[in-house]
A and B are shown apart, each in its own frame.
Chain A
């Protein structure tokens, strides 16, 4: 094996130009593929964070909350005590407000049953008074229209936040059906159409990512195969002489494989380094100019980077395999 390594290194030194061409080809292929991977990775992060914003509202039947308790409970009468403090926070951060200890026992029971369902991150009770308060806040200047109402027509409800691992609309719908089947629940609302479209878009996006990565992987293999073929072709006389002096195919091929793996590892490392330099440039110059909530680009993890370098080596190996197989058959 040491002999093969020595021969591979010697061959790289002897054929500097063609080896440089191979490394540059692999470097460019890896740069393109890893840029796509990085783009889809970050895009996936955004979509996942949007998905976490998906909520189900479960409306309670009118008689679930007892009127006397409503009158005596400051929480039910005026909305949640902590709600007023949290109301200016972004929508997704309002949850830790109500403690179940302040709810009447049957509501605690419903809440626990909802929270026990798979895919539910949290269920929060919204009293009809709180709902009215929110409506008034949302209507702002038009809120006087609500003054004419003799009684609050809004129902009590539970606002249910889902866990991040809820990728398809069918599973969300199933969960909604499960919640709706609870005897205390009157109706369930979760933006069925919007979620359906969003999840489809998300799936299409992800599928496009896989397809593009696959296409670029195959393209990279063929580009590398052709470049390696050039190297092999330039050394066809040497290969022919080796065969004539009794060299086996293994003896001829092994240094080529080692060369291809060294070249593709180098190409992969340079490609990732170039991408990292672009990433540093973007994160120091572009990202600062934008809201950090709006655009936060993360780089590939060590594991993902290692996978890309391994894939790059695989590309080199495959390219070499294809070229050698064709060449040695001739």
Chain B
């Protein structure tokens, strides 16, 4: 795709560049978006016909986000370099690697959260349904409505549980059954049972694990297509961690998940694909190996990967 500096850039020219791939993706998009539109038109959760692929690596699953040669700079410091990976629809993609290798930075480029840090810069292309997310005409706010995020430390707003979940839909001018949407989002986040009698109490009154599930409910209430999770369990106890992992397995029927994790067992247990990153001499993160999770953990091609997954470093 050609990046055009003109903000009035016309869309049709753009989508015809990569005809074959484009058609495939456009179909997926339509399906996904239709599903999305239906649900925001208030259909009960169960009504969703999940196009769930079989668990494990489904090589046929179409790529929904594709990074092509992505480098990221804080000022003149290059934090990650030349990353090319595919994120496939309805799968859980795990980013693993030692501390400081740029996993979180990379994750945050996908929904342009890093735009908020002054003096940063992205090179390369990040494509979402073939659209260049960093094209000049793209509004980062719209990107984040489609690619949601769950953070390392649960960060509920200092508002009621209800208002936390309803916040996103209200921003979008949601006109419909807000109560129903809040309930279904909390249900999908496996929190409804815990909080249904205290929706008016502050989100900050919940336990750590519940807060994180509230944040997940908040993220899915805006009906995103992709959910980015930045070490969502690092502050949680093992039991809450397992609950979140179970939740992720359910959520991938409807959403695509990218998760950064420090915990290799978590990656092995919960993800379909794993991307192993490491730090180069110049402290820039790069991808050592990426592929189906089973392969990465049982039969890594790279010696460094093997050392890392077997706990010999990192």
- A and B from one complex: no
